[in-house]
Chain A
């Protein structure tokens, strides 16, 4: 019922007072319906997924991958005429929506747990972007580039190392004069790929951390400040003298924060960035096939001296049986190949070729 706003107003004016209420209700509905066809921005709207000619894809989930998907959307629409709608509602929400099939694809920074995988009934997890987490800090009088090791970071976040001039930190930074300022560890409160990557790394290098806190997108930190999203963590970091945070590498670069260098298994301190992330990905010995398990990139082996130790894949979740099989395969195929070129400007490293090959094989399982 295409009624313009002007007609609506005219119609309303002509009516007598008693009928105004009736027509206002129907008029508003009619005016509303004429514009609703063009807005498909809501990610959770299942109608957007089910209506249309199959030329639209709707997805939701990870906020970490959202900036990259936002760059992809116009590029892919221009190249293939397929509109991809994506809502960064968080990894947990993405898993939930793909499990209930209200979206065409979900996205998660953490691989599905076994119970999640069972609930999702044949969902494939395909690594489609590669990002890293930095250690940033804000200590008056201390320059960027402090050295850290995994166990020292674990002790800081578990509250065992309490001040910046602790011998454990001083030993790693012999030339730096460290103040007695109290250390305030900052963490993410919302489920996040950065938390997953960071706790994945700390769980590997510190058995105590693995036992007490563990590896997940949200964990129970024993202290410190929590912030919501990169901006929440960044805000707490920059306003607190003595704060240290794990935070997306892109955010650190964009805001010129002081960042630390983390020792890798080879004993080196590589600068976090695309080359060192790619070095970590290149060190992957075996790539799991079949899209049913996650791949951990943290703490790469000593054979890769230039590898950055805290990097992580983020995953797209697709059911094996879907009405959108062909457009999904086409989109993901594009994202893991051509689409990777958009990554470096947002500090996403290109996927290693072994992963791309495994992804392509996994995509064939979608029917």
Chain B
């Protein structure tokens, strides 16, 4: 509110300054409350998870993390298979997403014609706009049958000896979930990787060219080494996205409470188990154990996100 506009309008001057006198502090208060509110909300949510899981934490202890069986009917609860399912599905997702994201980013920052860089970058990032439930449906209806009929029999014929590509091909299972998570993590990893590549100082690139480096050599010797911490951060943030996904994973992973070596087999993750079982869980140890799973997930997610942010910032400021 500029004084120049208030000055000629005499009758409103008093009101304007009154408004200023009340408005300025109240604006500050309101904005501060909004910001602090979010901080408090995070603490509140964390407190709820800690509180609700306390029964299970005190009864089952740290051994919960290493125990395999999940049998609500006999009051036996262990998180190991869900932790393994979460880690393996996210690991495979990033194993595929990371090189793909680096390839896309190199293409978009160094190789692609200038006119198509922005449109393609936007389209890749739009992949993140697909609601996860729709991605899950696509996984179930399109990817699943393709896996059972083509990809899994093919992998099995060559790689059955590894143990992880063995067993009965199945439309739902670890492989399907990992591929869906790949699609989810890809836009995030790509967006950050591309931005990190763009921060490569122009003079360093030109110096490389001046010394006779080819484009490939320049990328290998200048762009990639400089981007390394940022890349690690991008991967970690991608992991953060993949680890917490519940709905799409529930739709395609098969929700078994056992972890198996075969990637074709149905499995479960922390998030998927909470999403699919909490609604029907009886109060007491069962619900509390699901909250314990939530606590593990929360801790993993927070650590991963903080780590990722630190790594990305280190590249951005250098």
Residues of A within 8 A of B (CB): 15-19, 21-22, 25, 89-93, 95-96, 99, 113, 115-116, 119, 182, 184, 189-192, 213-228, 232, 235-236, 239-241
Contacts and interface: CB of A to CB of B under 8 A. Distances in A.
Chain B interface extent, by class: 35 or more
B51 interface: no
A16 B170 CA distance: 64
A91 B280 contact: yes
Contacts of A96: 282-283
B255 A227 contact: yes
B71 A219 contact: yes
Contact of B279 (A191, A215, A235, A239): A191
A90 B280 contact: yes
Nearest to A242: B168
A215 B282 CA distance: 14
A239 B173 CA distance: 12
Given A18-B23, A227-B255, A240-B170, A220 B70 contact: yes
Given A220-B70, A224-B256, A239-B140, A22 B168 contact: no
Closest 3 CB pairs of A and B: A18-B23, A191-B280, A226-B255
B59 to A, nearest CB: 15
B89 interface: no
Contact of A95 (B69, B255, B257, B283): B283
A16 B1 contact: yes
A225 B280 contact: no
A133 to B, nearest CB: 16
B26 A92 contact: no
16 contacts: A17-B1, A90-B279, A91-B280, A92-B279, A92-B283, A92-B287, A93-B279, A96-B282, A190-B277, A216-B72, A219-B71, A220-B74, A223-B266, A225-B172, A226-B266, A240-B170
Nearest to A217: B280
A228 B255 contact: yes
B39 interface: no
Contact of A16 (B23, B71, B286): B23
B1 A240 contact: no
Contacts of B30: 21-22, 25
Contact of A225 (B148, B266, B275, B277): B266
Contacts of B22: 18-19, 22
Given A16-B16, A189-B255, A218-B73, A239 B283 contact: no
B7 to A, nearest CB: 14
B261 interface: no
Contact of A213 (B24, B73, B284): B73
B257 A221 contact: yes
A18 B20 contact: yes
Nearest to B173: A225
B153 interface: no
Given A190-B276, A190-B279, A226-B266, A216 B255 contact: no
Given A17-B23, A190-B280, 11 more contacts: A18-B19, A18-B26, A90-B281, A189-B250, A222-B258, A226-B254, A226-B266, A226-B276, A228-B250, A240-B170, A241-B148
A361 to B, nearest CB: 28
Nearest to A25: B30
B282 A224 contact: no
Contacts of B279: 89-90, 92-93, 190-191
A223 B1 contact: no
A227 B256 CA distance: 9
Contacts of A192: 280
B44 to A, nearest CB: 18
Given A189-B255, A220-B70, A239-B141, A95 B282 contact: yes
Given A220-B72, A220-B74, A239-B145, A22 B26 contact: yes
Interface string B305-316: 000000000000
